[in-house]
Amino acid sequence: MTEYNFAYLDEQTKRMIRRAILKGLAIPGYQVPFASREMPMPYGWGTGGVQVSAAVLTPSDTFKVIDQGADDTTNAVSIRTFFQRTAGVATTTATSDATVIQTRHRIPEEPLHEGQILVYQVPIPEPLRFLEPRESETRKMHSLEEYGLMHVKLYEDISRHGHIATSYAYPVKVEGRYVMDPSPIPKFDNAKLGDMAAIQLFGAGREQRIYALPPYTQVVSLDFEDHPFEASKADHLCGMCGANDSYLDELIIDDLGGRMFVCSDTDYCEARQAAGHKGKDAA
């Protein structure tokens, strides 16, 4: 049998990540550099999130992994199994039962509670990167709160499209100080970032950054007086559970171009169906 380090990473690496997490919590929205390690999964499969999870998990935890809302994708299953094996954690798909939830690109629909930790895997942590490719420059812009260009870019969106077209990774301002990339969650989820009861930790492996939102942190999506932020979603009910308040994925269901809308959060949808809610497409 192979001997694993607890949660795969060696103790010195976990200490380094833990120190970065504490500084991240003390400076909400600020990107703390850390020395990212190789993990036994390819980049883009969440090595940042996996390293943060490895640094926070204890054997007493109950761990959930969602990939775009679903517990059953290859990505979600492999990360869940990885920590079941290396950290001895219990696993679950039920949002309310989980103590640590690792996520790629969604926030669960069910409000999280105190004592829970939400770990995001982040591909590009720098919200100013598309404006300025040089790290030395974006770091300077954050230090000087030079966020005017960011607003200009959003406003260009409005003049071109009549509204802000950015629908994922929509930038936010944290406690009136740092502009932060919330990772590629749909902007529908932005409204859940602020005043959340759970601790939110963000890990970017390739770019070697960790950042954090303590519970009940003020998080505001960037917008304009004449174009206020809107947490949009498809204007439909879930075909399976009838929910009108959840983020929906559009599925093609037959060769004739038939479509249906279903909750992207599979646990939320299944729990509603189990409770007797039924959508128009449910069998």
Partner 1 sequence: MQANTLSGGFADPATQSAHAFRSVMEAMARPGTIQDIHGAAPPAPLSPAMGAVLLTLCDTETPVYLAGDMDCDAARAWLAFHTGAPFVGPAQCMFAVGKWDALTPLEVYPIGTSEYPDRSATLIVECSELASGATLTGPGIKETATLSLPELEAFQANRTLFPLGLDFIFTCGGRLAALPRSAEVSRSSSQARAQAGAS
Among 33, 40, 44, 133, binds partner 1 (CB under 8 A): 33
User: Which two tokens mark 84?
Assistant: 């079941």
Among 7, 240, 260, 271, binds Zn ion (CB under 5 A): 240
Q: How far apart are alpha carbons 199 and 10 in whole angstroms? A: 24
- Determine the size of the site formed for partner 1 (CB under 8 A): 45
Q: Which does 263 bind (CB under 5 to 8 A by kind): Zn ion, partner 1, none?
A: Zn ion
Among 20, 79, 263, 271, binds Zn ion (CB under 5 A): 263
Q: How far apart are alpha carbons 180 and 212 in whole angstroms? A: 10
Among 50, 101, 213, 238, binds partner 1 (CB under 8 A): 213
> Quick check: is 88 catalytic?
no
Binding span for partner 1 by CB under 8 A among 1-9, 162-170, 179-187, 238-246 = 1-9
Query: Is the distance from CB of 113 to CB of 96 less than 8 angstroms?
Result: yes
Binding span for partner 1 by CB under 8 A among 28-36, 148-156, 244-252, 257-265 = 28-36
Q: Restricting to residues 108-147, which ones interact with partner 1 according to CB under 8 A?
A: 114, 139-140, 142-144
Rank residues 147 and 268 by Cβ distance to partner 1 and give the closer one.
Answer: 147
> Quick check: is 269 catalytic?
yes
269 binds Zn ion (CB under 5 A): yes
196 binds partner 1 (CB under 8 A): no
Q: How far apart are alpha carbons 243 and 162 in whole angstroms? A: 29
Binding span for partner 1 by CB under 8 A among 11-19, 121-129, 235-243, 264-272 = 11-19
> Quick check: is 279 catalytic?
no
Q: How far is the CB of 265 from Zn ion (least distance, A)?
A: 8
> Quick check: is 263 catalytic?
yes
How many CB atoms sit inside 10 A of residue 72's CB?
12
Strands 209-213 and 199-204: antiparallel
Burial 108-147 (b: 16+ CB within 10 A, else e): bbeebeeebbbbbbbbebbbbeeebeeeeebeebbeeeeb
Q: How far is the CB of 238 from Zn ion (least distance, A)?
A: 3
Query: Is the distance from CB of 169 to CB of 184 less than 8 angstroms?
Result: yes
Could you give the string, one character per residue 41-60, with x where binding to partner 1 holds by CB under 8 A and - elsewhere?
--------------xxxxxx
Q: How far apart are alpha carbons 9 and 47 in whole angstroms? A: 12
> Quick check: is 176 catalytic?
no
Tell me which residue of 119, 153, 102, 107 sits closest to 265, measured CA to CA: 107
Residues with a catalytic annotation lie at 29, 238, 241, 263, 269
Residues that bind partner 1 (CB under 8 A): 5-7, 11-12, 14-16, 18-28, 30, 32-33, 55-60, 114, 139-140, 142-144, 175, 177-178, 199, 212-218
